A and B are shown apart, each in its own frame.
Chain A
């Protein structure tokens, strides 16, 4: 059987930036299966829908999920306590396709930064560009440095790092890399896809959409893609969350 739900032991769940939490969950069966760019579907008691959260890291049977409190479900998640059993359906979706021997530029915007950490750990000497609205939302900088990444920090308001957008940095450095992987807000992904196209670099982007089943059965998390010249609806949970940027119809 390809999919399974298991109870994970909550090891820690701490606020690491304004409204952003770092959750570590232990399960020796499912956590080691996670690949970079995949996601975990977390059951929140009292809610009908699970919460899809990208895998930030997976090591020694511990799944790390860094998430932002956005609504009622993630609020409840943030109140879960150490020692609790958390019901998780994971890992799901198709992650980033990483080839050895290539140099990658990994770009995360806001709460799109976490999946890039696990991705950075699968690549050699990646260039990582992380962008945040302001200094209160900065996460995972030390983790990326430990992973051996060349790290660039940007903020929209200039309160830390480079004042500007991730695409400003990408344009300067794109000739130093072979391929780009990105996760973040849609306008950012669209801009990155455009830069990559202009410079003829392959680009993989991780998308987000309101989701239910998480496995491709209910068809709610639709995304329009172009395949063989034809526009069709695919689904973030099953066909993605990572898509070839050239195929996505923004």
Chain B
């Protein structure tokens, strides 16, 4: 049995697999399949300062080896999360990451402050949601805006701060550098790639929001490439995600430079995927005589 534990910004995870924000709610539903302590952590559904109802349906479309979604940050607001969901989550013996999104830098700061006074383990700043008109990705697509908002939130955030990066940019490595220089403790990447599907009979986009965020196995090679590029540019840890659906993908993402992983879309095919991926990862490490999963991170031998 290899050691699957990892440490990100001082926070210990039992294993490197974290449920990705937006696919796992606040954990209660998947907790009806298996104890949530089987996961390294949970990145909770993105929360905003006040309640949001999200976009009108349809909010999802299938794509070759993936999906498009545009939920639009439906959530009950940060206070409800803190009062009603966080106490339950903290009893599940897994790392709890609050994912925050705002309309303005002030909103991010206010949420970071509120959450800093709770026992949430980490804060993931979502500046990469492609599915809302304001809040999210407009802060995440230039080095200047990423640096500015990370620096502001850092001043109000007493918890380890993860900045979640958008792949819808020209140079993700320089954006990651801005986050690092402005005080991020880690980056998580990649959020979804903006995409679109159209019903050829009605000529209407399948998703009511017209465009949506693409995820699933189809985006995995893009995510691996970006994680590798960012790993070469920054020193803070990377939480890698984007289409991981089997243990081989997990190993590949770690080798590319990730220190921990998030998985999301695969849960919709197989709710037990995190457990199976951990088992496969463990066997791979044992078979190769590797004592700790941390030994894989960034061991790529590029040509």
Query: Does A49 touch B at the CB level, under 8 Å?
Result: yes
Query: Does B143 touch A at the CB level, under 8 Å?
Result: no
Q: Which of B45, B63, B74, B272 contacts A222 (CB 8 A)?
A: B74
Which chain A residues (1-22) contact chain B, with CB distance < 8 Å? 1-5
Q: Does A210 contact B29, Cβ atoms closer than 8 Å? A: no
Task: Specify which chain A residues have a CB less than 8 angstroms from the CB of B60 in the assembled complex.
Answer: 49, 210-212, 220-221
Which chain A residues (108-156) contact chain B, with CB distance < 8 Å? none
- Closest CB of chain B to A218's CB: distance in Å? 6
Q: Does A48 contact B217, Cβ atoms closer than 8 Å? A: yes
Q: Does B32 contact A3, Cβ atoms closer than 8 Å? A: yes
Q: Nearest A residue to B269 by beta-carbon distance?
A: A48
Task: Specify which chain A residues have a CB less than 8 angstroms from the CB of B57 in the assembled complex.
Answer: 209-210, 220-223
Task: Specify which chain A residues have a CB less than 8 angstroms from the CB of B25 in the assembled complex.
Answer: 216-219
Interface 1/0s, chain A 80-117, versus B by CB < 8 A? 00000000010000000000000000000000000000
Q: Does A73 contact B29, Cβ atoms closer than 8 Å? A: no
Given A47-B62, A209-B57, check contact A89 B271 (CB 8 Å): yes
Q: Which of B63, B71, B217 contacts A218 (CB 8 A)?
A: B71
Q: Does B271 contact A216, Cβ atoms closer than 8 Å? A: no
Q: Does A213 contact B59, Cβ atoms closer than 8 Å? A: no
Query: Does A160 touch B at the CB level, under 8 Å?
Result: no
Query: Does B88 touch A at the CB level, under 8 Å?
Result: no
Query: Does B53 touch A at the CB level, under 8 Å?
Result: yes
How far apart are the CA atoms of A223 and B74 in the complex, in Å? Answer: 12
Query: Does A215 touch B at the CB level, under 8 Å?
Result: yes
Query: Does B5 touch A at the CB level, under 8 Å?
Result: no
Task: Specify which chain A residues have a CB less than 8 angstroms from the CB of B87 in the assembled complex.
Answer: none
Task: Specify which chain A residues have a CB less than 8 angstroms from the CB of B54 in the assembled complex.
Answer: 219, 222, 233
Given A1-B33, A218-B25, check contact A212 B271 (CB 8 Å): no
Q: Does B53 contact A50, Cβ atoms closer than 8 Å? A: no
Query: Does B13 touch A at the CB level, under 8 Å?
Result: no
Interface 1/0s, chain B 70-82, versus A by CB < 8 A? 0100100000000
- Closest CB of chain B to A72's CB: distance in Å? 8
- Report how many residues on chain A are interfacial, defined by Cβ distance under 8 Å: 32
- Closest CB of chain A to B192's CB: distance in Å? 13
Q: Does B29 contact A213, Cβ atoms closer than 8 Å? A: yes
Q: Nearest A residue to B266 by beta-carbon distance?
A: A48
- Closest CB of chain A to B219's CB: distance in Å? 11
Given A217-B29, A219-B71, check contact A210 B271 (CB 8 Å): no
Which chain B residues (247-303) contact chain A, with CB distance < 8 Å? 265, 267-272
Task: Specify which chain A residues have a CB less than 8 angstroms from the CB of B65 in the assembled complex.
Answer: 48
Indicate the member of A2, A48, A211 with the most B CB atoms within 10 Å.
Answer: A48
Given A211-B60, A218-B23, A219-B25, check contact A5 B270 (CB 8 Å): yes
Indicate the member of A1, A72, A238 with the most B CB atoms within 10 Å.
Answer: A1
Q: Does B271 contact A219, Cβ atoms closer than 8 Å? A: no
Q: Does B30 contact A215, Cβ atoms closer than 8 Å? A: yes
Query: Does A43 touch B at the CB level, under 8 Å?
Result: yes
Query: Does A232 touch B at the CB level, under 8 Å?
Result: yes
Q: Nearest A residue to B23 by beta-carbon distance?
A: A218
Q: Nearest A residue to B61 by beta-carbon distance?
A: A210
Q: Nearest B residue to A218 by beta-carbon distance?
A: B23
Q: Does B33 contact A209, Cβ atoms closer than 8 Å? A: no
- Closest CB of chain A to B193's CB: distance in Å? 15
Q: Nearest A residue to B206 by beta-carbon distance?
A: A210
Task: Specify which chain B residues have a CB less than 8 angstroms from the CB of A2 in the assembled complex.
Answer: 32
Q: Does A233 contact B59, Cβ atoms closer than 8 Å? A: no
Given A209-B58, A233-B74, check contact A217 B269 (CB 8 Å): no
Interface 1/0s, chain A 188-222, versus B by CB < 8 A? 00000000000000000000011111111111111
A-contacting residues of B (Cβ < 8 Å)?
22-25, 29-30, 32-34, 45, 53-63, 65-67, 69, 71, 74, 206, 216-217, 265, 267-272
**Residue contacts A-B, CB under 8 angstroms, 24 given:** A1-B33, A3-B32, A48-B62, A48-B65, A48-B268, A48-B269, A49-B62, A50-B268, A89-B271, A210-B57, A210-B58, A212-B268, A215-B32, A216-B25, A217-B25, A219-B25, A219-B54, A219-B59, A219-B74, A220-B69, A220-B71, A221-B57, A222-B71, A224-B56
- 8 nearest A-B residue pairs (beta carbon): A2-B32, A217-B25, A217-B29, A220-B60, A220-B59, A215-B29, A210-B58, A212-B268
